[in-house]
Amino acid sequence: MTAAQPATRTAALAVDGIWKRFGDNDAVRDVSFAAEHGQVLGVVGPNGAGKTTSIRIALGILAPDRGGVHVLGKPLAQHSQEHIGYLPEERGLYRGRTIPDTLAFLGELKGLDRSEALRRADSWLERFGMAPHRSKKVGELSHGMAQLVQFTATLMHDPALVVLDEPFSSLDPVNVRLIKDVILDLRNEGRALVLCTHQMHQVEELCDRVVMIDEGTVVLDGSVDEIKRSYRGDTVAVVCDPAPNGLDGVADIRKENQTYMMRMLPGTTPRSILQQLLGQGCEVERFEVVLPSMEDVFVKVVGSRREE
């Protein structure tokens, strides 16, 4: 789970052992990951870790020095781009052009006829509540509205693989909810989604699998649940009556509302704590090993690598 998994060629996107060097710096070293149909894959990592380079290689924007990419089971080629929707982190549109002009051009580049592009664009703009602004120039839109236009450009050609880099930045809570719904709908339709973000709570909420890249290599790859379990902490949460007292192997106990948070000493197991509680005649309503948040995992993994 922690090492780079061999990418499967049946996946919607399979990145297989890619390397990329810029000058004297290896930006990406033997990175592999796969995005399956009907799943959201989170790609996370600190700034400068090699995420953007990996994504650009996966999309065919950059060529790898070694390794390869398969999209929908076939080696990445120019026609693959028509099956991919990409929302880059650093985004923008032609400010002086109208929304239809812009979307028609971007739609044509994705293989749509101009009229079909405009028809589909209208449909998405309607869904995003942008229909009243349809004929405006991009420069007249707010940042958030422009982002919704970019979402339209990303999705209008009905891509099987959708890559979203920081999709929630500069969106208000209503639009964040709207985009989350769209992401989940797309997943339920069987599309593969790749979500690059620093917002770990979004990863927990939306992603089925997570790949963490640090210093150009994959340091974590697995389902969100697997990762959290493997990084579970040293704390158990207990709701019981009466209050626990004099437990062996517990470093300290703090009370949060009705819950006792017990930090275990190294070598202590949750089972031994539970047995002691039951032995003291405590009525245990809740006993749970506290799983770390993805943010905790992120900090722990990256932090420990920095210390090495």
Partner 1 sequence: MKNKLTIVARNEFWATVKRRSFIITTALFPAIGLLALAGFAIFQAIDTADDEPEATTVGYVDNSSLFTDVWQRSLITYEPVPDREAGVQALLAEDLDGLFVIPADYLATGIVERIQERQAGIPGFGGADLMLEQFLRENLVAGQVPPDLQERLLSPAVVNTVEVDPEGQPVDEPFDVGRIFFVLLSFLVLMSVFMSAGFFQEGLSEEKETRVMEILLSSTTPKDLMLGKLFGLAVVGLAQVAFWMVFATALIAGVQASGILDLPPELELVMPPLALLPVGLLYFVLGYLFFGALQGSLGAVTSSHREAQQMTVAIIMPGIVPFWFLAPVLGDPEGTLSRVLTFIPFTAPVTALLRMGIDGIGALDLAISLGILTVSTLLAVLLALRFFQAYLLMYGQRPGLRHMVRTVVKGQA
Taking the least distance from each CB to partner 1, the nearer of 78 and 188 is 78
Q: Is 23 helix (H, G, I), strand (E, B) or coil?
A: coil
CB-neighbour burial class of residue 222 (10 A; exposed 0-12, middle 13-18, buried 19+): middle
CB-neighbour burial class of residue 156 (10 A; exposed 0-12, middle 13-18, buried 19+): buried
- The contact mask relative to partner 1 for 3-22 (x = CB under 8 A, - = no) is -------------------x
Task: Tell me if 95 contacts partner 1 by CB under 8 A.
Answer: yes
Tell me if 44 sits within 8 A of 28, measured CB to CB: no
By CB under 8 A, the count of residues binding partner 1 is 28
| Candidates 100-108, 122-130, 205-213, 217-225; binding stretch for partner 1 (CB under 8 A) | 100-108
- The contact mask relative to partner 1 for 44-73 (x = CB under 8 A, - = no) is ------------x--xxxxx----------
Task: Tell me if 88 contacts partner 1 by CB under 8 A.
Answer: yes
Report the alpha-carbon distance of residue 75 to residue 183 in Å, rounded: 26
Task: Tell me if 191 contacts partner 1 by CB under 8 A.
Answer: no
CB of 110 vs partner 1, minimal distance in Å: 6
CB of 137 vs partner 1, minimal distance in Å: 12
Task: Tell me if 215 contacts partner 1 by CB under 8 A.
Answer: no
Task: Tell me if 81 contacts partner 1 by CB under 8 A.
Answer: yes
Taking the least distance from each CB to partner 1, the nearer of 27 and 211 is 27
Residue from the set 34, 106, 203, 262 that interacts with partner 1 by CB under 8 A: 106
Angle CA 33–74–157, to nearest 5: 90
Angle CA 124–200–4, to nearest 5: 100
Q: What count of residues does the chain have? A: 308
Residue from the set 24, 25, 47, 90 that interacts with partner 1 by CB under 8 A: 90
Residue from the set 1, 74, 94, 158 that interacts with partner 1 by CB under 8 A: 94
Q: How many helices and strands (H and E) does the chain possess?
A: 9, 14
Angle CA 242–247–248, to nearest 5: 170
Residue from the set 83, 110, 120, 228 that interacts with partner 1 by CB under 8 A: 110
Sign (positive or negative) of CA dihedral 242, 243, 245, 250: positive
CA nearest 264: which of 291, 292, 240, 233?
233
Q: Is 42 helix (H, G, I), strand (E, B) or coil?
A: strand
| Candidates 101-109, 125-133, 239-247, 271-279; binding stretch for partner 1 (CB under 8 A) | 101-109
CB of 56 vs partner 1, minimal distance in Å: 7
List residues near partner 1 by CB under 8 A.
Answer: 22-23, 56, 59-63, 78, 81, 84, 86, 88, 90-95, 97, 105-106, 108-111, 150, 153
